[in-house]
Amino acid sequence: MHLCTSNRGGALVSTARRSLLYLFALLALFLVGTADVMAHAVAEGDKGFIQESTGVMLLPFIYMGAKHMITGYDHLLFLFGVIFFVYRLKDVGIYVTLFAVGHSVTLLFGVLTDISVSSYVIDAIIGFSVVYKALDNLGAFKRWFGYQPNTRLATLIFGLLHGFGLATKIQEFEISADGLIPNLLAFNVGVEIGQLLALSAILILMGYWRRTESFWRHAYTANVAMMSAGFLLMGYQITGFFISA
């Protein structure tokens, strides 16, 4: 009986580890295989809908917000790093809320005030946020500088930067002023829903992984892989910025 339970639990843990490794592998393939990597790119169908829509359309914008978060590999990588060593649901909720607030504020502010920032620059900064969080998880700042940055403040700041990235994209589509604020609020609600769905899946996988000794053996490798993905994203976007200049 105990052996069966142990085997079943071991299989679940193995599946969780493989799923996390697949996440990194798929990310690497996506970054390398895509000609124009834009973390905040909007699908052509959604782009056409945004350009042609007028009036209040809450459900479609909620859907697009959720889709943006679930398919936003940069958001998911950063949030994965944020919750990597966070165990209490209360703390997870605090970090998720800070990130969501930052993302929502700059999205609304950027679109309503028509402040535009190069999407290449924003995406490079987002890549840096992934690198930063991986280094933070590895304890690099404490060893190098004898100082531990405020993780909650950093999460809020990077949430603000992430929001500017999407605001820049939405401005390019010249969204209608009719129903603009309700639609943007609906989009942010969708982002929060997508974020919760994505984090729920990540937390389930992490929960199985954390129950084994292999978690501590592979935690370093996982964060190095995350940091490498962040550097790859930064390099891609910086290159794109100079080529397009």
Q: What is the 3-state secondary structure (H, E, C) of the chain?
A: CHHHHHHHHHHHHHHHHHHHHHHHHHHHHHHHHCCCCCCCCCCHHHHHHHHHCCCCCHHHHHHHHHHHHHHCHHHHHHHHHHCCCCCCHHHHHHHHHHHHHHHHHHHHHHHHHCCCCCHHHHHHHHHHHHHHHHHHHCCHHHHHHCCCCCHHHHHHHHHHHHHHHHHHHHHHCCCCCCCHHHHHHHHHHHHHHHHHHHHHHHHHHHHHHHCCCHHHHHHHHHHHHHHHHHHHHHHHHHHHHHHHC
> How far, CA to CA in Å, does 189 sit from each of 64, 65, 197?
10, 7, 12
**How crowded is the C-beta side of 150, counted as CA atoms within 13 Å?**
5
Cβ atoms of 2 and 127 within 8 Å: the answer is no
Average pLDDT over residues 77-83: 83
What pLDDT, in 10s, does the model give residues 184-195?
888 888 888 888
Least reliable range by pLDDT among 44-48, 69-73, 104-108, 207-211: 44-48
Residue 122 pLDDT greater than 70, yes or no? yes
* pLDDT on residue 231: 92
Residue 202 pLDDT greater than 50, yes or no? yes
What is the percent of the chain with per-residue pLDDT over 70, rounded to a whole number?
77
pTM value is 0.72
* pLDDT on residue 8: 46
d(CA 168, CA 1): 57
* pLDDT on residue 52: 67
What pLDDT, in 10s, does the model give residues 49-71?
666 677 788 888 888 888 877 77
Pairwise pLDDT comparison (172 vs 4), residue with the higher score: 172
Pairwise pLDDT comparison (240 vs 27), residue with the higher score: 240
Domain boundaries, the chain: 2-244
d(CA 80, CA 153): 17
Pairwise pLDDT comparison (85 vs 19), residue with the higher score: 85
Place of tokens 């997870």: 92
d(CA 151, CA 104): 19
> How far, CA to CA in Å, does 6 sit from each of 2, 11, 43, 204, 211?
6, 8, 44, 18, 12
Q: Which of 111-120, 148-157, 175-184 shows the highest mean pLDDT?
A: 148-157
What pLDDT, in 10s, does the model give residues 5-52?
344 445 544 555 555 555 555 455 444 444 344 445 555 566 666 666
* pLDDT on residue 187: 85
Average pLDDT over residues 151-162: 86
pLDDT confidence bin for 203, thresholds 50/70/90: confident
Torsion of CA 146, 137, 236, 187, to 10 degrees: -120
Least reliable range by pLDDT among 7-21, 173-187, 213-227: 7-21
Cβ atoms of 59 and 67 within 8 Å: the answer is no
State the greatest distance between any 2 C-alpha atoms of the chain, in Å, as a whole number.
66
Q: Which of 17-26, 35-44, 76-85, 223-232 shows the highest mean pLDDT?
A: 223-232
Least reliable range by pLDDT among 15-19, 109-113, 128-132, 171-175: 15-19
